[in-house]
Structure 1
Amino acid sequence: MAHTGPLAGIRILEFSQIVAGPFAGVALSDMGADIIKVEPPRGEDRRNSGAVVPNEGKYFQSLNRGKRSLTVDLGTPDGQALIHRIIPGFDVVLLNYRAGVAERLNIGYERLSAINPGLVYANITGFGEKGPHVHRAGSDIVAQAYSGLMAAEGKVDEHGAPQSLQSSTFIDRTTGLAAAMGICAALLHRERTGKGQELHVSLLQTALELLSDKVMREPVHDSVLRDPLIAELHEKRDSGARYDEIADVRKQQAPRFASHRLFYGGYHTRRGAIVLGALTMQNRNTIRRILGLDDTTDTAGFNAADPENRRLLEAWRGSIQAKLLERDAEEWVATFIEAGVPASVVQQPEDLADDPHVVAAGMMIPMEHAMTGPQQVVGPLVHMSLTPTEALRPAPPLASHTREVLLECGLDESDVGALVAAGVISTAD
């Protein structure tokens, strides 16, 4: 298949698993890069997460479309030698192994760049390339816990224990985007200078950025808001309080910032749920006019943390809720949109492939998978006028491109046959 995107002609060897690395590969594939995903002969373990057809789970497919599958047993000297043999034909190595694993497999940056000096080598790890936790295993839920994002959200399960943000591995995915951005920048630098380089991104660094306003230190703000909160949280923790009791401390601080949440949050309606997304006074005033509300949250000096004002906020919220229960969610959203107010029905993700706007905007792409048949996949994040991005192909069946890729890399049929016989690679044919 011909690539049309701005990265057409760029070849990437991807050693990836789970989410962050695979998602970076998807983003780069949509930009036109030829992504060769290296898997062990048995396949990546996540191929069978929630799978109905063996090796072809939707979770794996969504994170590996656009790629070709090459199976190599990297635990063998012959498998490592094969990577050394083909690496001159690649522009980029992308991997998300734990720190030290690539070196143990003899595919670290120093080894591969000695063979291919122009190589761009992108590492995705849990905790970064230095520091006491450099060799710690990382995952989205661990990054949520370590970075404080989990505590900032304050979610608890039915046992009062910490609960992750489970709907999407967004630290993983955001880290994947950071890796793709870094690779593009490194390729531009190589075009200008001829020099390859190694780059690092981590789940922790991404998580810190997602919380940047809370993580940053600034003495004036901190003395008024941050320091009293953290002192109370630490005191509660050190007293042996349960996690849900600690989380309540942060929740009790929420009313201080609640003035505008009357107009920025969710409500029930007669049928379905709705969210309002008004961040400007103009939009808030429009909502007040539509709903007949006379709150004073935008008046000078209104302090949402004052106990009397907190009672007023609850009363005003009750008035909004009662009004919204008079009509269906779709009716209210139509009214708000017509008035220029950001609002939406709360939809179920499984419905979105058939959503009229999603379909009309071309956000879903039809494909035909060799094993599972017709499918609709989420299309590229970026659309470009001169170098069109595209979702090139569905996720590859295991080992489906091993022979094709190795022949492209200069091996012949006898080489491939010998590697298959030795158990170093597997092929789908």
Structure 2
Amino acid sequence: MRGDLMIAQGPLNSIRVLDFTERMQGPYATQMLADMGADVVKVERRVAITPDGRVDDRYGANGRYGRDQDDSTIYAAGFLANNRNKRSLTVDLKTAAGQAMIHRLIPKFDIVYENFRPGVMERLDLGYERCRELNPKIIYVSATGYGPNGPHAQKPGQDVLIEARTGWGEINSVDGKPVPVATAIADTLGAMNGAFGTVCAIVHALRTGEGQRVRTSLYESAIAGMAEWGFHYLNSPQGAPRRPRPGHASPYTPPPYGFYATKDGHIALSSGRQIGKLSRILGIDDLSQDDRFATYWARYENREEFAAIIEKALSAKTTAEWVELMEAEDMFVAPVNTMDEAFADPAVAHAEMVVELDTPAGPLKFFGVPYKLDRTPASVRTPPPLHGEHTDQVLAEAGFTEDEIAELRSSQAI
């Protein structure tokens, strides 16, 4: 690692990544590599604007994200949540000097990671074949919306659009109305697949000395992410998914499987094997012996009626009271927490899933790393960089002289 990132001790701490990614799918993936110790250099536009032309607001337009309501937009959060542990280098890739500068850097890196539409990097003279000429061992990762070619390849790749095309809206629908997932599920899955593919390529390179091209996309990741539900749709005669009520978690799974109202909130139940025990705790007739609910298909066909009976009984006590009673008998149960309650849970601190870093906007809370390695742990070390914060440092490490850096700056290449 370089500069202030020398304390990194993760398993990737000898790996260098030249990061041409924006928004979420790419930055989330390269942040995963950075957490594991890789030296990730984020290549950014010379002028501090966002991909859609807004003034750069990574710490808020006035640098007061988290402290000032008007400065605390979700756009700032999108950058901050996905770019810790990285350095920032700026360049104008549309200039010959900027391209030549990047060409000099590529032999000193192990990985190029980009998430533009197909053809963009080629037009900038930074496509896979060109990078492989400059560094035959390069691992070149492309994370696109729909893959390198095909009927949708040149269309905008954005999470909600991908959810719409891949059936997530229907599988999450209620009363026949499609519902988007409240978080960027396609971006998250695409990032994880991209990071996983990259690490597999690193293992291959360490064994053989060979680089290779790695591809992933939002579209493919969203389809694969449907897992058993998508598999069931493709192979069973059951047809399209139908959720009868918002609280039911899966359109194909019989109850109890979802969120159910209590006296003061909601409770989660998720095991059809515990219906007899659940009935006893609730003080109602054993629903497992009721013809309407005695079998898998009977419960599936009568999901709404099952939920109504359960919720009528649950209305007698609070969520906390029911959870205490059910956990005492090892029920599959959990309270449905608010965000405040979720992050106040002692388990969050125990798992070190929220860590605080000093940033240019003051102390901010970041997520911890959800995978723990005993010998080579990942770490959250540095806040997201300021725009171009490390340009001179990275270039000097690559052998650029002070005069060369000054010339790049005067020619507006950096």
TM-score (norm 2): 0.86
**Which residue pairs with 1:62 in the alignment?**
81
**For 2:308, which of 318, 321, 327 is the aligned residue?**
318
**Which residue pairs with 2:238 in the alignment?**
225
RMSD: 2.8
Partner SS for 2:142: strand
Of 204-213 and 103-112, more deviation after overlay is shown by 204-213
Percent of paired sites with the same residue = 31
Partner SS for 1:63: coil
Partner SS for 2:82: helix
Are positions 1:89 and 2:98 aligned together?
no
How many residue pairs end up in the alignment? Answer: 389
Whole-angstrom CA distance in 1 between matches of 2:325 and 2:129: 61
Are positions 1:201 and 2:187 aligned together?
no
Measured after TM superposition, the shift of residue 402 of structure 1 is 1.0
Superposition map of 1:343-358 within 5 A? 343-349=333-339, 352-358=342-348
Superposition map of 1:132-211 within 5 A? 132-154=151-173, 162-165=178-181, 167-211=182-226
Of 97-106 and 351-360, more deviation after overlay is shown by 351-360
Stretches of structure 1 lacking an aligned partner (at least 5 in a row): 230-248
Cα distance change of structure 1 residues 405 and 277 upon mapping to structure 2, 3 Å threshold:
same
**For 1:103, which of 114, 122, 128 is the aligned residue?**
122
Measured after TM superposition, the shift of residue 25 of structure 1 is 0.9
**For 1:29, which of 34, 41, 54 is the aligned residue?**
34
Are positions 1:396 and 2:385 aligned together?
yes
Whole-angstrom CA distance in 1 between matches of 2:17 and 2:127: 15
Partner SS for 1:25: helix
Cα distance change of structure 1 residues 123 and 387 upon mapping to structure 2, 3 Å threshold:
same
Measured after TM superposition, the shift of residue 275 of structure 1 is 1.4
Whole-angstrom CA distance in 1 between matches of 2:9 and 2:33: 12
Are the aligned partners of 1:27 and 1:381 in contact in 2 as well (CA < 8 Å)? no
Cα distance change of structure 1 residues 130 and 314 upon mapping to structure 2, 3 Å threshold:
closer
Are the aligned partners of 1:258 and 1:304 in contact in 2 as well (CA < 8 Å)? no
**Which residue pairs with 2:46 in the alignment?**
41
Whole-angstrom CA distance in 2 between matches of 1:16 and 1:424: 19
Letter in 2 for 1:93: V
Of 142-151 and 178-187, more deviation after overlay is shown by 142-151
- Larger helix fraction of residues: 1
Stretches of structure 2 lacking an aligned partner (at least 5 in a row): 66-75
Partner SS for 1:285: helix
Cα distance change of structure 1 residues 355 and 102 upon mapping to structure 2, 3 Å threshold:
same
Residues 356-398 of structure 1: per-residue CA shift (max 9 Å, x gap): 21012211112111x1111221011211001111112111111
Partner SS for 1:410: coil
Letter in 1 for 2:269: L
**For 2:282, which of 291, 304, 307 is the aligned residue?**
291
Are the aligned partners of 1:259 and 1:304 in contact in 2 as well (CA < 8 Å)? no
Are the aligned partners of 1:53 and 1:372 in contact in 2 as well (CA < 8 Å)? no
